[in-house]
Structure 1
C-alpha cells in the first residue's frame, strides 16, 4: 500500500481523538447531570472536546483537499463531527474507500 499523505494520517488520528473526547465528555455529563456527583469531568473534557472538534473540522478539510473528496463527502465528514462517535465511522469509511482498487 502506498504511503499515506500526512493530511490523511492527521485526519485519522484526530477522528479517533475526537471520538475519545466524546466518550470522556459523555461520562463527565453522566456524573454531572445523572449521578450529580460533580462537574470535574465536564470541566476537563468540555474544552478538550471543543478543541478536538475544531481540529477535526480542519482535518476533514485538509484530507478532502489531498484525497479530492467531493462536496457531498466533505459535508458528510463535517456532519459526522456532531453525533457521538460518528467521526470513527466516517474515518473507517474513508479508509476503506482509499483501499478499494480503482476500476479500469
Structure 2
C-alpha cells in the first residue's frame, strides 16, 4: 500500500505538528532548567510565548485541514486534543499520514 503525498493543507498540518512539538520540547527543557535545576527561567519565558503562538497556529491549521480534507468528527476531535499533552502531535501526524488523511479530500458524491 502506498501512502499518498500530503496536499497543500496537509503539508501545512505537518509543519504545524512539528512546530507545536518542538516548542513543547523547548518549554519542557525550560521548565526543567527553571524548576529542577533552578538555573534560569529564560527557557520558560521564551518557549512559553513561542508555544502559545504555536498552539494557536496548530488549532487553526487543524480546523482548516479538517474542513478542507473532510476529516470525520472523531479525527478532528483527536487532532485538537493532541495539542494538550506534550509531543502527541508528532505521532498523530505520522498516523494521519499513514491513513492517507493528509492527501486530497475524497470526492463529493
Give the structure-1-normalised TM-score: 0.89
Q: Which runs of 5+ in 1 are unaligned?
A: 100-104
Aligned mates of 2:19, 2:5 — CA distance in 1: 22
Name the counterpart of 2:44.
42
Name the counterpart of 2:91.
89
Q: Which 4+ residue blocks in structure 1 deviate beyond 2 angstroms?
A: 1-5
Which of 1 and 2 has higher RCO (CA within 8 Å, sep 6+)? 2
Give the structure-2-normalised TM-score: 0.85
Contact 1:8-1:66 within 8 A present in 2 as well: no
Name the counterpart of 1:30.
32
Q: Which runs of 5+ in 2 are unaligned?
A: 102-109
1:7 and 2:13 correspond: no
Residue 3 of structure 1 deviates from its aligned partner by: 5.7
Q: Name whichever structure is richer in helix by fraction.
A: 1
Aligned residues between the structures? 99
